[in-house]
Amino acid sequence: MTKQERVTFVINTLKEFYPTIPIPLDHKDPYTLLIAVLLSAQCTDVRVNQITPLLFAKADNPYDMVKMSVEEIKEIIRPCGLSPMKSKGIYGLSQILIEKHDGKVPQSFEALEELPAVGHKTASVVMSQAFGVPAFPVDTHIHRLMYRWNLSNGKSVVQTEKDAKRLFPEECWNDLHLQMIWYGREYSPARGWDLEKDVITRTIGRKTALDGYKK
């Protein structure tokens, strides 16, 4: 297959597997999504979805969040890991949203990435899932799949994002990054990988990845 044929095969196969695409992180608006994505760094979405109801019961908007102390936030989110940094980030970004953005989550990459504890990936998730702006957030699953499918060299997530945006049509990005996350978790995980179930890698996989599996 040519690279373009492989890209088309990926798009069509993922559409078949995930005609409707669940959002991994529970949220009700851009602010609660932003907090959930921030908490998901080095933490599973399942764990985040267990913790956010506890946090949002006390504060589901920046005005209520800054009424809490960093220490109180830290205690609630402790099971998500990195709680000292994340609690300061949540409190700090809530303050900035009030002071600079009328308590609303800004709709630009630049403004989002200026917020404490918000990196490019978090900003990309919020822009795509909250505001419908085309973005291609690359997590560990997408990074792994792009390499396994011989669509990127696996050197860095920055390069993987560039390759994904170059190869896939922009109108597919927002669906595709979610479809790839679900596929990576269910059919092409890092551990416990069963190539028989992983039809995409089996069909278009990088030779070294397939040879490595067979060993």
Give the residue numbers marked as catalytic.
121, 139
- Cα 138 to Cα 62: distance, rounded to the nearest angstrom: 27
